[in-house]
Amino acid sequence: MTKTPRGVRVRRAVCRVLFVVGGVITLVCVLLPIACWRDDVAIERSMGQAVAQVDSVTFNRTVVRYATPDGRVIIPSQGVLYPQGLNVGDNVRVEYDQTNPELTRVAGRTAVLSLLPVGTFLVSVWIVIAAVVTVLRRIGTQV
């Protein structure tokens, strides 16, 4: 039995790690739209509607403030779902889960909006992984 050279073992290990990382990223990218869809179902099951004011827009969340019909002022701590294009001071129609007003989305927007960015990211990740694995395999065949 001959021992494979160290460089070959290292390249194989790197390829395996890349495929595992790609698999984990794929799993997360599949679960994200499923989670968005689950939130949409919860909102539609017990939907309330209101006009909200956009209080702040940051990289990771957009904070809105709205009043429910019973007079409570709601500021969802995790922000609003599907906030693309909102600016501070905007008034926007929102839909929320009446049993959990923390779960709020911009009216008319659904999980379908998550498919393009998640899909684009996932394709990009696999293109990079494929390129790196191809380069590593070609290096291994050159002597």
Give 9-50 pLDDT, tens digit per residue.
888 899 999 999 999 999 999 999 999 999 999 999 999 999
Distance between CA atoms of residues 96 and 103, nearest Å: 6
Q: Which residue has the higher pLDDT, 4 or 22?
A: 22
Distance between CA atoms of residues 12 and 54, nearest Å: 51
Q: Count CB neighbours of 51 within 10 A.
A: 12
Joined tokens for residue 24: 């984990």
Contact (CB, 8 A) for 78 and 60: no
For 133, counting Cβ atoms within 10 Å of its Cβ (0-12 exposed, 13-18 middle, 19+ buried), the class is: middle
Give the angle subtended at the CA of 30 by the CAs of 26 and 34, to the nearest 5°: 165
pLDDT at 2: 62
State the average pLDDT for the chain: 92
- Side-chain half-sphere exposure of 12, counting CA atoms within 13 A: 7
36-87 residue pLDDT tens: 999 999 999 999 999 999 999 998 899 999 999 989 999 999 999 999 999 9
What domains does the chain contain, in order, with CATH numbers? 5-142 (2.40.50.100)
pLDDT band for 139, please (50, 70, 90 cuts).
confident
Phi, psi of 29 (to 5 degrees): -70, -25
